[in-house]
Amino acid sequence: MVVVSGAVGGVGASTFAALIAAARATSGPTALVDLGPGGGLDVLLGIEAAAGSRWPELAGVHGRVAAAELTGLLPRWRGIEVLSAARDGAVPGAEAVLAVCTALVDGGVSVVVDLPGSRVLGDLPSEVPEALVGGLGGELVLVAGQDVLGVAGLLALRRRLTVPAQLVLRRRRSRVAPIEAAHVSDLPLLGLLPGDRRLADAVDRGLGPVAGRRLRRAVARVSHRLASQ
């Protein structure tokens, strides 16, 4: 399991989560779980009108759930099962989140969770990120811009984390040296993400994030490093 969180809003964490899921889907069944507000992930992927269950339909799930019970329930994007958040901003309960994610992991599904920084620390109960990273063996990846504002947001989030994390930097014109960002945040650096102008065009066309060669290779390297840990 990979849990992706943006150090600040607008850094492209949801896009990165989708690209990591796409990289993992080449090796087996993969699910992308949205814990952000407003159901933004299915809009990003262009599947907001697709049939299938969202968090409101699964909010009452609790206890042990068999993976087979989720089969065919969720909409898909590029072969990836997607569980999107509610459009009204409602946060699924901790019990439902853990029951669904546990069922997917136990069913042999590679799970990528899009968990905004505000929800790592505030909106969701603390046991959710702790259980996802600790109990289910997930790796928390913080995405930050490679600039002063990005690193400042990263430090603010880092000081309040209670679980281990790793760092991915998104390249910016006004750059902070990657080794310096990793040093001041005391986080292992997994990789750098180059800019890709194709992303916005693909999203606008309803295709979801479709990366060019350089970005696709960078994401694949990060995915490989996570898988080898």
Q: What is the pLDDT along the chain (229 residues), one digit of tens a residue?
A: 999 988 877 778 999 999 999 999 999 999 999 987 666 788 899 999 899 999 888 888 888 888 778 888 999 999 999 999 877 767 677 888 889 999 999 999 999 999 877 555 554 545 677 778 877 888 999 999 998 888 898 888 888 787 889 999 998 777 889 999 999 999 999 999 998 988 989 999 999 999 999 999 999 999 999 998 8
CATH code assigned at 112: 3.40.50.300
Tokens found for residue 54? 């969202």
What's the pLDDT at 193?
Answer: 95
Give residue 119's pLDDT. Answer: 54
Give the number of domains in the chain. 1
- Whether 41 and 82 have beta carbons less than 8 Å apart is answered as yes
- Other CB atoms within 10 A of residue 204 CB: 9
pLDDT score of 115:
86
Cβ–Cβ under 8 Å, residues 46 and 84: no
As a residue count, the chain comes to 229
Cα 2 to its chain centre, rounded Å, is 7
| Predicted local confidence at residue 127, as pLDDT | 60
Which residues span the domain enclosing 49?
2-227
